[in-house]
Structure 1
Amino acid sequence: WGPKALFFIPTDIAVDKGVVWTDCEGGKNNHIYIVDMANNCIRRFAYNEVTTIAGSPHAAGILDGSANHARFRSPTSATVCPDGSIYVVDSGNAVIRKISLGNLSKSQFGPLKAPQTALDDLRLESLENPEEALSEALRDLASKRLVSGTNIT
């Protein structure tokens, strides 16, 4: 797979709902996402190809933007939502980041900078364990259903 597939402490994988382990060829949603913690990036494995979708193996930090501009600091886990968004626990920054693959924009939940005030400390404390916060949020999301007429979603 070449130099793009050099992982350094991969810590988690997340899969699209369309991944079938016996047939990973083609298909819109046949991707496996790898959280590459020590390289500070998120990689996507699709049939016979690995690409970096966010972050950079050469620079840690916290920055939103396109794939080559976004920065993570020790991401540890990820979850793919039904709409294709990927939520990443960016443990080194104590935030949860969202990757929208349509335009690769990122947003985060938690502090955006080092705490400088009591309010910043409170925000940081609220995401002291971002993996647990993400897990709880997704559990809540999964338990909600929308009832519209005779349709339940």
Structure 2
Amino acid sequence: MRFQDMCVLAFCRLGVAGLAPKAPGTWGSAVACLLAPFVFLPFSYTGRVLALVLIFIAGGLAAMRAEQLLGRKDPGEVVIDELLGVWIALSPFEKPGPGIFVASFALFRLFDIWKPWPVRASENWLPDGFGVMLDDAFAGLWALLCVLVLHFLHIV
């Protein structure tokens, strides 16, 4: 395997998170929460939005290549989409406390697994790796909406 293909797979897997034998999406979401305070949340809100756009594009291209390399559509070990979804849920918070992190993680996983409209439908709205990214973006938006309500009600 070429070095650049190994790098694409490492990016898509968030290192080794995507290689977890059970629940790689949950592990990918946990890694996203661990990375956020260091590489995402220090940016301004505008910077975070730009980062999300760049992650969507880079993740879509990388997921497309990973599908080719692994020979299957939306392989479970591709968890860069989980990072996108969790970071969408965290995006408006400059310095979230533990409650925001737990709620963002749990609600994102709920919506990513449950797949309410338009999460499931959006899987096929864009081709290849971009469809992989889009459904988790919508799950992240659902989680964001719920976290904002919980925050507004002073629950988290």
Fold conserved between structures, TM > 0.5: no
Give me the TM-score of the superposition, normalised by structure 2. 0.28
TM-score norm. by structure 1 comes to 0.29
Give the number of the structure with larger relative contact order, counting CA–CA contacts within 8 Å between residues 6 or more apart.
2
Higher-Rg member (1/2): 1
* Structure having the larger proportion of residues in strand: 1
